[in-house]
Amino acid sequence: MSAVMGPLPAYEWKDIDWRAIGRRVFKLQKRIYQASRRGDAKTVHNLQRLLMTSWSAKCLAVRKVTQDNRGKRTAGVDGMKSLSPAGRLRLVSVLRIDATPKPTRRVWIPKPGSPTEKRALGIPVLHDRAAQALVTLTLEPEWEGQFEPNSYGFRPGRAAHDAREAIFNTIRYKAKYVLDADIAKCFDRINHDALLKKLNTFPALRRVIRGWLKAGVMDGPDLFTTPEGTPQGGGATPPTIVQNGGIRAGDEGTRTDAEHHVHLLLVNLDPLDQRPYDTTLGLPIQVI
């Protein structure tokens, strides 16, 4: 039976009160954020389990992948591009994060700034995308409570304009050095075990995320295993929440240092860990 099949609900998609649903989900997310800020991991995990079984959160996850996202009509390996309103309700009723994931479908797109190169995307099926969106709703508030305040990559409520404002406020009174860096093959080389260890979530969710990472990828008729790396194209895979909450990238000694006027703005670096660094710099860094 298809993942989106199920009994037809007695209500309609258009009758859902999205404002009330958003409020209910936000209240739980706020409690997760507050527990994360005070370091109460047990409460964080209990609230996350509650949110992942919430009908309201499932509705928001399904709406995100079937209506809101720009790539909502991109099919996975099952060829399904869209759902009717009734189909969306059926998907909500059967949505489970622990369902066996299907391989992603390889899609090649032009790489920005390199006309001769292409970037590989891994598109999950609709059910898996909805499950990943549901997990994103639970992980984001936990990690928002730990991230570095001066980081802007792939975080809710933040955009490139916020990073530009921070840069302006940093250099407006005195010239500073700027470090512009990128991680070569960042998504292709991520170690799965190290990523899951850094996420430090409860066992059931860790198994779910491992299943998504190990699901494989279909490139045409060929199925390839995925012993390392993460697919770009899913709701909880880089460059989104799993990336932001995972492995620390870069030198432990590289951080904002007011005395030596070194400011690393985590925008294009795409770090896997945006939490504050504790190490101070011994000498100023000069970048030419």
pTM score of the predicted model: 0.78
Averaged over 151-178, what is the pLDDT? 82
pLDDT of residue 50: 96
Better pLDDT: 230 or 3? 230
Least confident range from 170-174, 181-185, 217-221, 238-242: namely: 238-242
**Average pLDDT of every residue of the chain:** 78
Q: Which residue has the higher pLDDT, 168 or 10?
A: 168
pLDDT tier for residue 244 given thresholds of 50, 70 and 90: low
Per cent of the chain over pLDDT 90 is 42
Residue, of 270 and 10, whose pLDDT is higher: 10
Confidence of residue 273 (pLDDT cuts 50, 70, 90): very low
What's the pLDDT tens digit per position in 21-51?
999 999 999 999 999 999 999 999 999 999 9
Between 82 and 4, the more confident residue is 82
Burial of residue 143 (number of CB atoms within 10 Å: 0-12, 13-18, 19+): buried
- Does residue 138 carry a pLDDT above 70? yes
Least confident stretch, 81-90, 209-218, 270-279: 270-279
